[in-house]
Amino acid sequence: MIEIDKVTKTFGAGDVAFTALRDVSVTIRENEFFTLLGPSGCGKTTLLRLIAGFEPPTIGAIRLSGRDITRLPPNQRPVNTVFQNYALFPHMSVAGNIAFGLEMLGKPKDEIAKTVDEMLRLVRMEELKHRKTSEISGGQQQRVALARALAPHPEVLLLDEPLSALDLKLRKEMQIELKRLQSETGITFVFVTHDQEEALTMSDRIAVMSGGRILQIGNPREIYERPSERFVANFIGESNFLNGQLSAGSVTLEAGGTFTVQPPQGVADGKVSVLIRPEHVTVAGTGAEGAALTATVENVVYSGEATVAHLKLKTGEAIKARASNLPGASGLLETGAQVGVSVAPGAVTVLVD
Amino acid sequence: MAESRTQKPPKGYSVRTLPGFAIVAIFTLITLYAPIAILVTFSFNAGTSMAIWEGFSLRWYQQAVANEAVQDAAVRSLFLALVAASVATVAATMAALATTRTRHFPGKTMIYALINQPLMVPEIVTAVALLIVFAAIKVWTGHTSMIYLIVAHTAFCVPFAYLPIRARLETMDLSLETAAQDLYASRWLTFRRVTLPLMWPGIVAGLMLAFVISLDDVVITEFVKSAGQETLPTYMLGQLRRVVTPEVNAISTVILLAGAILVSLFFRLTSKRG
């Protein structure tokens, strides 16, 4: 269990001071696949470097299994890192890289040899044991970097955007591979990424970060379906934002229609903005049953598995409706047509703004 | 002809079509290399003349090798170059680490300037300055060993060793050292197992360059040496003042060869691998 307790990190001083993390607190549980998600410059990599010990926090404490490790140098923390550029030692073989951490821990030779073979098997690289790291592909280097970091069996594995250098197909494979490794080793993974899809697919829990703060922590479903604020909703998935009036647990949209909602704490009755995901919006014929809103079709975009209709409500607000394409279905929507729009029950989320 | 009308981006000048290029090139090559070619050629002359070819012979090489003064000077030169280059390389390695593996600190640019000072101060000025200081020390202590030459050579060798080592360190990925520390290596083990092996080509290159620079130094050596401390270059200079025989050519050719080999190795080490 890692506890990040009110951590602030400032680089530089005076006029050039830059605060990368502002009063961040989070508890990462044992055996968890925890993701720090956010755009570049949001502080996610800084937080990772603080956990690894490469930088000390300016204020605050970091505890690992109850032990304060805030001032412990990186070589004394039972934490290993998979670097974004892998940082494999170019003057050592694949096996030499994997053995490095164990050698530094002073493990006996036969145990090191055994663990190296075990790691090579775990990442399916047995046949490349004696290769130089410059002679293997990017995906293979990635596996070596993973094996090297896992070999000393750390309490926590930190992964700094490890898949960003791989092409799409390889990235998908490695996502599954990482999940497998995590469940096989039972090690806590802290994973940094700016790719929301990657975060949703792989994580047990996600912390969404922006501007040096954690905006929301939750499991993928909570983050996607109940984002607390507009930034989170916008960063993850496609969003429709509409204005409405909250009163007694239901929202009446300015464009029409009243929906039961579960308003988050701290949001008072009155004017609010709400999120509706495009896949929860359905286009029907005018006046169709359950159609609470009416809109004009602005544009229809076909993208293979789905069709997205860009609509304009009577208030002038834009709304997107996304529908999976069924076999043989023909496009019925024409630009300029007046249509009814319905929203799935429970699909309206009130945002903290 | 339609194709020729399509605009192509202007290509750079071909060196061959630049006016006067050939003349300048030929003149440069002749002035640079013809004297050396002549020197090497006449080192194999059978006669004593430096101008008239009298047939091929290795007699001047044999004579140089048998000459005790040459032997003495050669041994001294090699010893001096080895000691000075080694000490300078150790100092340069530490300086390079201190100037690349630390955060920017005030006066860092000053330190670059200080380390590279021997490259900027005219050699004759350094030589005269050292002569004055060392002469005083020699009078004061009565001590006249090789130590003065070693100190002087070490000092002017430092920047030559420093530059390739620093270049090597600057291209080295810092995250490798971070990774080593992450994998439980102490600072010392990080240096010994990661930093040092990776900067090794730079160190060897620096050592060789410093060695060559020390080996052929004349000006500072001439001013600093005590009586009887001839190095090969100062011995040759002394010989030229008296009678000139192709023996000097033979010694020059050997030094040229040694220098060429070391400098080629230097370029191999500094250009190969990232």
B248 band by pLDDT with thresholds 50, 70 and 90:
confident
Q: Which residue of B has its CA nearest to A151?
A: B183
Nearest to A50 by CA among A34, A63, A37, A41: A63
Residue B182 sits in the same domain as residue B225: yes
**Mean pLDDT throughout B263-271?**
83
**Mean pLDDT throughout A333-346?**
83
* A167 phi/psi in degrees, rounded to 5: -75, 165
How close B67 comes to chain A (CA, Å)?
Answer: 47
pLDDT score for A331: 60
pLDDT score for B3: 44
> Are A87 and B186 within 8 A, CB to CB?
no
Whether the predicted model's global pTM rises above the 0.95 cut: no
Q: Which two tokens stand for residue A257?
A: 């229609």
Over chain A, what is the mean pLDDT? 89
Nearest to B192 by CA among B205, B210, B208, B180: B180
pLDDT score for B189: 94
Answer whether residue B258 is part of any domain: yes
pLDDT score for A229: 87
pLDDT score for A288: 55
Q: Which two tokens stand for residue B131?
A: 């002569």
DSSP A132: B
**Mean pLDDT throughout B232-260?**
87
Residue B38 sits in the same domain as residue B123: no
For residues A345 and A329, what is the distance between their CA atoms, to the nearest angstrom? 25
Q: Which residues of A touch B198 (CB under 8 A)?
A: 90-91
Number of independent structural domains in chain B = 2
Percent of chain B with pLDDT over 70: 93
Residue pair B210/B198 in contact by the 8 Å Cβ criterion: no
Q: Does domain A241-350 have CATH number 2.40.50.140?
A: yes
Q: Which of A52, A91, A105 has the CB atom closest to B182's CB atom?
A: A52
Above 60 in pLDDT, residue A308? yes
Q: Which of A54, A91, A105 has the CB atom closest to B178's CB atom?
A: A54
> Which CATH number characterizes residue B266's domain?
1.10.3720.10
Here the ipTM equals 0.81
Above 70 in pLDDT, residue B23? yes
Answer whether residue B8 is part of any domain: no
**Mean pLDDT throughout A100-119?**
94
Tens digits of residue pLDDT in B90-133: 999 999 998 888 777 788 888 888 888 888 889 999 999 999 99
Percent of chain A with pLDDT over 70: 97
Q: Is B64 exposed, middle or buried (0-12, 13-18, 19+ CB in 10 A)?
A: buried
Residue B114 sits in the same domain as residue B233: yes
**Mean pLDDT throughout A90-105?**
94
Residue B49 sits in the same domain as residue B162: no
Q: Which residue of A has its CA nearest to B179?
A: A87
User: Hey, do A2-225 and A241-350 end up sharing a CATH topology, with the first three levels equal?
Assistant: no
> Are B179 and A104 within 8 A, CB to CB?
no
For residues B205 and B213, what is the distance between their CA atoms, to the nearest angstrom? 12
Above 60 in pLDDT, residue B71? yes
More confident residue, A256 or B180: B180
Above 80 in pLDDT, residue B244? no
Answer whether residue B9 is part of any domain: no
* A276 phi/psi in degrees, rounded to 5: -130, 120
> Are A87 and B193 within 8 A, CB to CB?
no
Helix, strand, coil percent content, chain A, rounded in steps of 5: 30, 35, 35
Number of other residues whose CB lies within 10 A of the CB of residue B239? 18
- Residue A197 one-letter amino acid: E
CA atoms lying within 13 Å on the CB side of residue A45: 11
Q: Which residue of B has its CA nearest to A147?
A: B183
End-to-end CA separation in angstroms for chain A? 32
A117 contact partners, CB below 8 Å, separation of at least 6: A126
How close B180 comes to chain A (CA, Å)?
Answer: 8
pLDDT score for A323: 87
Residue B153 sits in the same domain as residue B24: no
Number of other residues whose CB lies within 10 A of the CB of residue B102? 9
Percent of chain A with pLDDT over 90: 51
Q: Which residues of A touch B188 (CB under 8 A)?
A: none
pLDDT score for A269: 85
Over chain B, what is the mean pLDDT? 86
Q: Where are the domains of chain A?
A: 2-225, 241-350
Residue pair A230/A243 in contact by the 8 Å Cβ criterion: no
pLDDT score for B274: 40
pLDDT score for A290: 60
Pairing type for strands A205-210 and A188-193 reads unpaired
Q: Which of B176, B186, B189 has the CB atom closest to A87's CB atom?
A: B176
The class level of CATH for A2-225 reads alpha beta
Show the CA angle centred on residue B189, arms to residues B183 and B194, nearest 5°. 75
Residue of B104, B178, B184, B195 to mutate, testing the A interface (most A Cβ within 10 Å of its Cβ): B184
Above 60 in pLDDT, residue A287? no
Residue B99 structural domain: 68-271
Residue B100 sits in the same domain as residue B194: yes
Residue B44 sits in the same domain as residue B108: no
Q: Is A248 exposed, middle or buried (0-12, 13-18, 19+ CB in 10 A)?
A: exposed
Q: Which of A47-51, A112-116, A214-218, B102-106 has the lowest mean pLDDT?
A: B102-106
Tens digits of residue pLDDT in A128-159: 989 998 889 888 999 999 999 999 999 999 99
Percent of chain B with pLDDT over 90: 37
Residue B75 sits in the same domain as residue B45: no
Residue B255 sits in the same domain as residue B156: yes
